[in-house]
Amino acid sequence: MNTADYLLEKGNPTDLVLLSDKFRYSYQDLRQACARLYGELAMAGVDAGDRVAILGGNSLFWAAAYLATLKRSAVAVPFAVTMTPEDALGLQNFVHCKALFIERRMHAKFAATLPADLTPIFDDCLEEPGPSEWPEAEKEFDLNRDAALMFTSGTTARPRAVRITHRNIQANTNSIIEYLELSSADRIMAVLPFYYCFGTSLLHTHLRVGGSLAVANSFVYPELVLDLMESAECTGFAGVPSTYQTLLRNSSFPRRELKSLRKLQQAGGKLQTVLIEELVNSVPQARVFVMYGQTEATARLSYLPPQMLSTKLGSIGQGIPGVTLRVLDDDGNPVKPGDVGEIYASGDNISPGYLDEPEANAGKFIAGVLKTGDLATVDEDGYIYVVDRKADFIKSYGFRVSSQQVESVILELKEVVAAAVIGEPDLVRGEAIKAFVVLHEGSELSAEEIIAHCGRRMAHHMVPRDVVFIAALPLNANGKVVKTELRKLSAG
């Protein structure tokens, strides 16, 4: 079955599917919008295998554009709304989209740089009469066809276009629904953009069960998001570490009574254990799912059952249903408990590879197995604990230091909103540890106090040499800290 039909199969026509403080749409509204945009694709001459860019915020238009593209057997290429016109041109020159779904309000910004042969389809066409069709579901459909090109987050290197197939999406969606126990009664507060694989997975899973999504396009004002979450009676929330850092340390979230909230999803990087504990205490009625994933795996790879947070705190758990995770040493052997190795993943959710990057594919995808690039240990029960990304380790006084471990200790200080650690060249240490720290407004916490706290909690080679206070950490479009920008700032 085509993934568009698979995702729309169960939604009750009169049930809400998308809502915000400005709109409310039913599944019938969504299906009508999908048919309208499918008609526009047909008029534009988009055929199976053609690529279609999508540029817009979380909305009925975005969801319908995505689903219509999949139904057409074309390949959806979500663009980040935060990109510059030059970035968009660079991506278009690489992926060669035939058409572009774009919000009218954004067109002026990008019109001058995008090529003339790229056919634009605007959001206001949903308000106008025009071609509208939705063919019957195909009985025989090749699930190995590419469905989307999803760009990696680019926190340590330039983004890559990851090929995601219909099989990848359906397998990962089924797995996530199973372990989260999602149903049509679930309503997620979606602050993560749909163009980010974590955000797309929220759309996939809640559509598939006939649930709903309350959507926001900004987290700049978290109180507005919390107001919507409360008024919409959301049962779920999902975020990356920076999202939860803001909620727990710089919003009214810990003091609110969000009585409908039942499930919290965290992925997109490691949320430090001190913040996980604060999260659990803030919403005792909700289950907290700590998860791990990658764009190359469609979205999710592992989760830690909420009831095990007290005994396995800091672990990413084990593979989700249908996924096998192994932690292997340099010789390809499973590591012993406590030893460090790289996480390898296999399952139907693993991408066939990057677009037009044979060398990168050869080192990343091996006979259907994904080398994640994340280093981890395992315990006696087989639960996995991520140590750090390979690229983020710091070599201090000859010791390999996990930047995440140092960040975790800094975040023990309640006046710290966020922290990120990098290494920089040092004649004595090899690499010196530099911490970038965001404090609560009005805090008088000093760099010396942070360094002293680290000195009491960690070995000498793990203690930052420098602490730099910063108004906000540089985040990419997905809310992840971009350490390459911190390294530029440090060198500059």
**For residues 73-85, b (16+ Cβ closer than 10 Å) or e, as one string?**
bbbbbbbbbebee
Domain 393-491 has CATH 3.40.50.2300: no
- Cβ-Cβ contacts under 8 Å for 34 (sequence gap 6 or more): 4, 8, 64, 67, 68, 71, 134
Q: What is the radius of gyration, based on Cα positions, of the chain?
A: 23
C-beta neighbour count of 370 within 10 angstroms: 23
Give the ranges where 1-158 is alpha helix by DSSP (H): 3-8, 27-43, 60-71, 85-95, 104-110
The reported pLDDT for the residue numbered 334 is 96
The reported pLDDT for the residue numbered 241 is 87
**228-281 per-position pLDDT tens digit:** 999 999 999 999 888 998 899 989 999 999 999 999 999 988 888 899 999 999
Band (156; pLDDT cuts 50, 70, 90):
very low
| Contact present, 174 and 153 (Cβ < 8 Å) | no
**Domain coordinates in residue numbering, the chain:** 3-378, 393-491
The reported pLDDT for the residue numbered 158 is 59
How far is it, in rounded angstroms, from Cα 425 to Cα 406? 18
Length of the chain in terms of residues written: 492
The reported pLDDT for the residue numbered 155 is 44
| Kind plus residue range of the DSSP H or E element containing 201 | helix 197-208
**11-38 per-position pLDDT tens digit:** 999 999 999 999 999 999 999 999 999 9
**Residue 392 Cα to chain centre, angstroms:** 19
The fourth-level CATH superfamily of domain 3-378 is ANL, N-terminal domain (3.40.50.12780)
**76-92 per-position pLDDT tens digit:** 999 999 888 988 998 99
**Residue 118 Cα to chain centre, angstroms:** 28
CA dihedral 269, 388, 175, 8 (to 10 degrees): 30
Band (390; pLDDT cuts 50, 70, 90):
low
**291-300 per-position pLDDT tens digit:** 999 999 999 9
Backbone angles phi, psi at 345, to 5 degrees: -130, 145
- Give the largest CA-CA distance in the chain: 71
**173-206 per-position pLDDT tens digit:** 999 999 999 999 999 999 999 999 999 999 999 9
| Contact present, 317 and 383 (Cβ < 8 Å) | yes
Instruction: Sort strands 146-151 and 119-122 into parallel, antiparallel or unpaired.
Output: unpaired
